[in-house]
């Protein structure tokens, strides 16, 4: 499991209802989030890259997916510096992680 269930539940005061709602919300918004990142990168819109990757950072921090936070921070820095080479070489790693997170959540909800 890529996310830290205990961390997430603790941050929600153990509230299973909110836990389930957050997971459902991530699954619901997954495709739009992913497409936003890809579209921003393909259009070389560094402001949009920054915004979409920064948004993903918040999501990963919320769900306890700490392993990818350093890379996301580097991608944010690369977007600010307009370093498309670094972005091109690394963005797929966070897309894969977000896909794994979605799959973990689907398993968690028995979907």
Query: Is residue 98 within 8 Å of residue 56, measured between CB atoms?
Result: yes
**Distance between CA atoms of residues 33 and 63, nearest Å:** 15
**Distance between CA atoms of residues 13 and 15, nearest Å:** 5
**Distance between CA atoms of residues 90 and 57, nearest Å:** 14
**Distance between CA atoms of residues 19 and 88, nearest Å:** 33
pLDDT of the residue at 111: 78
**Distance between CA atoms of residues 1 and 5, nearest Å:** 9
**Distance between CA atoms of residues 4 and 8, nearest Å:** 6
Whose tokens are 């963005």? That residue is 91
Q: What class does CATH assign to 5-108?
A: mainly alpha
- Residues 59-85: what's their mean pLDDT? 96
Compute the mean pLDDT over every residue in the chain, rounded to the nearest whole number.
96
Q: Hey, how many other C-beta atoms are within 10 angstroms of the C-beta on 43?
A: 10
So where are the chain's domains?
5-108
Whose tokens are 């209802």? That residue is 17
Could you report the per-residue pLDDT of 16-57, keeping only the tens digit for each? 999 999 999 999 999 999 999 999 999 999 999 999 999 999
């Amino acid at each position: 499991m890529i996310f830290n269930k205990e961390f997430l539940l603790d941050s929600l005061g153990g509230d299973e209802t909110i836990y389930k709602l957050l997971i459902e919300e991530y699954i619901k918004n997954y495709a739009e989030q992913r497409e936003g990142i890809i579209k921003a990168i393909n259009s070389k819109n560094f402001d949009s890259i920054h915004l979409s990757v920064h948004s993903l950072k918040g999501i990963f921090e919320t769900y306890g997916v700490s392993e990818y936070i350093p890379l996301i921070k580097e991608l944010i820095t690369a977007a600010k510096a307009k370093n498309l080479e670094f972005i091109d070489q690394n963005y797929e790693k966070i897309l894969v992680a977000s896909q794994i997170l979605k799959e973990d959540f689907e398993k968690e909800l028995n979907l």
